[in-house]
Amino acid sequence: MNTFINFSYIVASILFIFGLKMLSSAGTARRGNLVSALGMAIAVIATLLYQGMSYHWIILGLIIGGAVGASAAQLVKMTAMPEMVALFNGFGGIASLLVGWAEFHARPTSPAFTLVAISLAVLIGGITFSGSLIAYAKLAEKIDGKPLLFKGQQGVNAGLLGGALLFIILFAAAPHGYSLLIGLILLALVLGVLVVIPIGGADMPVVIALLNSYSGLAACAAGFVILNNVLIVAGALVGASGLILTSIMCKAMNRSLANVLFSGFGATTTQSGGGYQGEARPVTVDDAYYILEAARSVVFVPGYGMAVSQAQHVVRELGELLEANGAEVKYAIHPVAGRMPGHMNVLLAEANVPYEQLVVPEDVNPIMSTVDVAIVIGANDVVNPAAREDENSPLWGMPVINVDHARTCIVSKRSLNPGFAGVDNPLFFKDNTRMLFGDAKKSFQGLVAQFKEG
């Protein structure tokens, strides 16, 4: 039986790898998700075949977990997806912590290697859990999204991390070290909070990717604790892919991971419209229609405002009408647009926007000067020209989408207020910028109606 179980784990691991590879392309992402789910189903069924398994609590857990998962899938709005991802990361971390704790409770005299694995599962899992809860609270605006800084913060964090490492050494060398384990758990939970509170809202996509990696590393450590091969492989895959995604997103912002974690970006918020002088030029839906009706090339730049107003479906409809009118339509996606990795891609895929029309900043920036109209939908920091023009801006050096180079730029926003990062945007006062104030969904519904009437 053990041979069959281990063979099943190998099959599951292979399916995880192929599924992860398929997730890298929009054309195969859904199949990749199903392939990975099949791998997990095989791994779970194989684990349940172990002799001596008690199914009472497992069945109860399946019922409760299944009900929570099904409810979340049906009830959680797309705008709340970043918060849900943060919570999922946290639950993965606390699960690994509990596995390590339970294993030590069952076998307190385990070998030193197992004790080290237990302590790593507890440390990384605890940091992931409490850090993810803070990320959730910031994303859901339960607490202030601005960085929370205090004097000597980095020293405190370094001291706590050093203390945690000392606890691990003492724990591995001292059998029956239950008090040491409890102390390590408390240190991990406090460290998770202190690691995330100095990170501003603009950096949340990076934080989510990093916490996702942490959850994978915690699961990998838990796999070593219970000697489960498929958990080790799955945790390593999640940990590695999360780190790769974190690196990609840091590169997209032209910042190092250390800068993201310790700089306190956005700690000081400028007053709305106060950092840059000029006059914003409002435009009505009727006027915007005439601008778009004459356009032969249009680039949509979606941001979190599109998610809030749930405008992705009407944006896709407007794009189809523009194409029918003879315009070439593209959707420029910045890697850190929205509040989680791939946030805008998910929304546009939900609206059935053709994947071939999605472009990245490196592709669209060189031709932006030939674009008739760039339409910004609730994006702010990723289109802020201060990143190129103002050395004193917190965004200085960050690659942005150069919508201000288009012949006309229409910005759909409710007001001139800064974005989540709290940085003023001089784009609003550019000569070629027109501000389409109001709810994005209603504004674009008006544009769609105009095209259909025309």
CA angle 25, 83, 394 (to 5 degrees): 85
Helices 229-252 and 2-22: crossing angle in degrees, nearest 10, is 20
Residues 6 or more apart whose CB falls under 8 angstroms from that of 179 comprise: none
Name the residue with tokens 């994303």: 139
**Does 224 lie in the same domain as 120?**
yes
Q: What is the pLDDT of residues 48-77, one digit of tens each?
A: 888 777 788 888 988 999 999 899 888 887
What pTM was estimated for this model as a whole? Answer: 0.82
Q: Do 181 and 137 fall within a single domain?
A: yes
Residues 250 and 323 in one domain: no
**Is 32 part of any domain?**
no
Q: What is the pLDDT of residue 265?
A: 54
- Please check whether residue 265 is in contact with residue 147, taking contact to mean a CB–CB distance below 8 angstroms: yes
Domain membership of residue 17 (yes or no) is: no
| Residue 328: CB atoms within 10 Å | 14
Q: What CA–CA distance (Å, rounded) separates 293 from 246?
A: 40
> Tens of pLDDT along 251-278?
877 777 777 776 555 554 444 444 566 7
Instruction: Please tell me whether residues 324 and 293 are part of one structural domain.
Output: yes
Q: Per the structure block, which two tokens stand in for 95?
A: 């699960």
Give the per-residue pLDDT at 264: 57
116 with 186, same domain: the answer is: yes
How confident is the model over 1-41, as pLDDT tens digits?
788 998 999 999 999 999 999 987 777 888 999 999 999 99
397 & 248 share domain: no
Question: Are residue 366 and residue 430 in the same domain, yes or no?
Answer: yes
Q: Which of 262, 296, 321 is the last residue of a domain?
A: 262
Based on the fold, state whether residues 403 and 306 are members of the same structural domain. Answer: yes
Residue 277 in domain: no
Same domain, 424 and 327: yes
The parent domain of residue 199 ranges over: 76-262
On whether both 445 and 330 belong to a single domain, the answer is yes
State the Cα–Cα distance between residues 203 and 419, nearest whole angstrom: 12
- Distance CA(136)–CA(89), nearest Å, equals 10
Query: pLDDT digit string (tens) for 363-393?
Result: 999 999 999 999 999 888 899 999 898 888 8
- Both 248 and 213 in one domain: the answer is yes
Residues 6+ apart with CB under 8 A from 12: 39, 40, 42, 43, 46, 230
Residues 211 and 358 in one domain: no
CB 300 within 8 A of CB 372: no
Q: Is residue 24 part of a domain?
A: no
- Per-residue pLDDT at 436: 95
- 424 has catalytic annotation: no
Per-residue pLDDT, 276: 63
| pLDDT at 157 exceeding the cut of 70 | yes
The residue from 287, 372, 381, 390 that is catalytic is 381
Helix (H, G, I), strand (E, B) or coil at 365: helix
Cβ(212)–Cβ(89) under 8 Å?
yes
Alpha helices in 111-203 (DSSP H): 112-139, 153-173, 178-196
Q: What's the domain count of the chain?
A: 2
> What tens digit of pLDDT does each residue of 207-261 get?
888 999 999 999 999 999 999 999 999 999 999 999 998 888 888 777 777 777 7
- Which DSSP letter does residue 192 get? H
